[in-house]
Amino acid sequence: MIKLTGLTKRYPGRSVTANAVDGIDLEIPEGKLVTLLGPSGCGKTTTLRLIAGLERADRGVIEIGGQVVSDPEHRIFVGTHRRPIGIVFQSYAIWPHMTVIDNVMFPLRVNRPRPKKSAARETAMQALDLVGLADFAERPAPAQSGGQQQRVALARALVREPKVLLLDEPLSNLDKGLRGRMRDEIRAVQQRLGITTVFVTHDQDEALAVSDEVVVMNGGHVIEQGLPQAIYTYPQDMFTARFLGVSNSLDGVVDSVGPDGATVTLGSRSMVCRQSGTAQPGERVSVFMRPESFRLSRRQHSEDAWPGTIEFSIYHGDCWDYHVRLDDDLLKVRVYQEKVGLAHGDSIFLEPDPDSAIVISGDKQEAEQTPEEASPADAVARTR
């Protein structure tokens, strides 16, 4: 298990209120894969580097497997080479003058006590076999493809049989198809070994796909932590709702609260929101809805349906994304299993799913997005 208590890291030149990591308390269970997810500059990579010992914390305690490896107050700092960890970097960090097996053997050859070369080679071959590269052992490492080099880096991280595996944006340099395959391989290896793993990424799909738990970070703080499906379906914070996938946001006022949820007035429209939390009548709220949380029809099947007009559409192969104009609001709606798409100006009707609407109090301060993290799709799906 990894335990972080009051972990703080400040870089020179930053104000006291802009710590890279600002008093994080976090527990990562043994044998689980936990993803630190957030935009660039949120503190996720700094947190991983602190766990690895590549950075020194200013305050707070880091424990790995019950051993304190960092505690500045008591002048405790265990070096990276003495921590029971393996690391895979974004850049692979492959030695270009070595063969595949020499790269994997390297941590063993510099270890103390140093094993015999035959024993180190046998252990390295086992690690290569684990990632499916045993047949490539004698080939030059730079001659391998990007995915193969990433697997070499993974085998090298695992060769010392660490208690903890740290993955820093390991897939960001790969193309989309290869990224998906490598993601699946990393998850398979992690579950096969049962190794405690910290995975750092800014990619929501990666985080949701591989994680036992997701930790959403922003501004050096942990915003929210939980199961991937819970974080995605019922986020408890505006930042999480914005960052995880493309969400539609509608501002409204709670009209009434009953056993079926809260009735929220949204301009000229209203809807019942079952996931209303502690909303109270008269309270200003934001209602978040996923693009797939609407039923889109060419005909009106209910008096509660919202009339709208197609602004434009995007075809993804397995689905259509429609951008629908409803008065002053522009919503993104995703429709699956539709062979013929709609065009600009087509009239449609939307029926929102009351079970999928997420109500978050307007009093909760939303973390401000930087231009780096706000995609055009996010911007167009928000209420104007």
For residues 203-216, average pLDDT:
94
The residue written with tokens 């007009």 in the block is: 309
- Asked whether the beta carbons of 216 and 231 are under 8 A apart, the reply is yes
Q: For 146-184, what is each residue's pLDDT tens digit?
A: 889 989 999 999 999 999 999 999 888 888 878 888 899
- Asked whether the beta carbons of 60 and 6 are under 8 A apart, the reply is yes
**How confident is the model at residue 337, as a pLDDT?**
79
Task: Please report, rounded to a whole number, the percentage of residues in the chain having pLDDT higher than 90.
Answer: 64
Exposure of 125 in the CB half-sphere (CA atoms within 13 A): 8
**Could you tell me the pTM of the whole model?**
0.84
| Pairwise CA distance, residues 124 & 101, whole Å | 7
pLDDT tier for residue 375 given thresholds of 50, 70 and 90: very low
In whole angstroms, how far apart are CA 292 and each of 17, 239, 315, 324, 334? 38, 20, 14, 13, 5
Instruction: Give residues with Cβ within 8 angstroms of 61, minimum separation 6.
Output: 3, 4, 5, 6, 7, 68, 70, 71
- Asked whether the beta carbons of 37 and 201 are under 8 A apart, the reply is yes
Q: For 266-278, what is each residue's pLDDT tens digit?
A: 988 999 998 777 8
**How confident is the model at residue 376, as a pLDDT?**
36
Choice between 4 and 363, residue whose per-residue pLDDT is larger: 4
The residues with which 4 forms a beta bridge, in sequence order, are 26, 62
pLDDT tier for residue 246 given thresholds of 50, 70 and 90: low
pLDDT tier for residue 304 given thresholds of 50, 70 and 90: confident
- Asked whether the beta carbons of 243 and 216 are under 8 A apart, the reply is yes
Q: What is the mean pLDDT of the chain?
A: 88
| Pairwise CA distance, residues 124 & 162, whole Å | 14
In whole angstroms, how far apart are CA 308 and each of 77, 327, 345? 61, 8, 9
**Annotated domain spans of the chain:** 2-233, 238-381
Token output for 111: 């270890």
**How confident is the model at residue 21, as a pLDDT?**
94
| Pairwise CA distance, residues 333 & 289, whole Å | 10
| Pairwise CA distance, residues 294 & 313, whole Å | 15
**How confident is the model at residue 112, as a pLDDT?**
77
Q: For 114-127, what is each residue's pLDDT tens digit?
A: 888 899 999 999 99
pLDDT tier for residue 14 given thresholds of 50, 70 and 90: low
Least confident of 91-100, 324-333, 359-368: 359-368
Q: Which CATH number fits domain 2-233: 3.30.360.10, 3.40.50.2000, 2.60.120.200, 3.40.50.300?
A: 3.40.50.300
Instruction: Give residues with Cβ within 8 angstroms of 95, minimum separation 6.
Output: 102, 103, 106, 141
Q: Residue 212: name the closest of 233, 229, 224 by CA.
A: 229
pLDDT at position 3 over 80: yes
HEC secondary structure over the chain: CEEEEEEEECCCCCCHHHCCEEEEEEEECCCCEEEEECCCCCCHHHHHHHHHCCCCCCEEEEEECCEEEEEHHHCEECCHHHCCEEEECCCCCCCCCCEHHHHHHHHHHCCCCCCCHHHHHHHHHHHHHHCCCHHHCCCEHHHCCHHHHHHHHHHHHHCCCCCEEEEECCCCCCCHHHHHHHHHHHHHHHHHHCCEEEEEECCHHHHHHHCCEEEEEECCEEEEEECHHHHHHCCCCHHHHHHCCCCEEEEEEEEEEECCEEEEEECCEEEEECECCCCCCCCEEEEEECHHHEEEECCCCCCCCEEEEEEEEEECCCEEEEEEEECCEEEEEEEECCCCCCCCCCEEEEEECCCCCEEEECCCCCCCCCCCCCCHHHHHHCCC
Class of domain 238-381: mainly beta
The residue written with tokens 């960001």 in the block is: 172
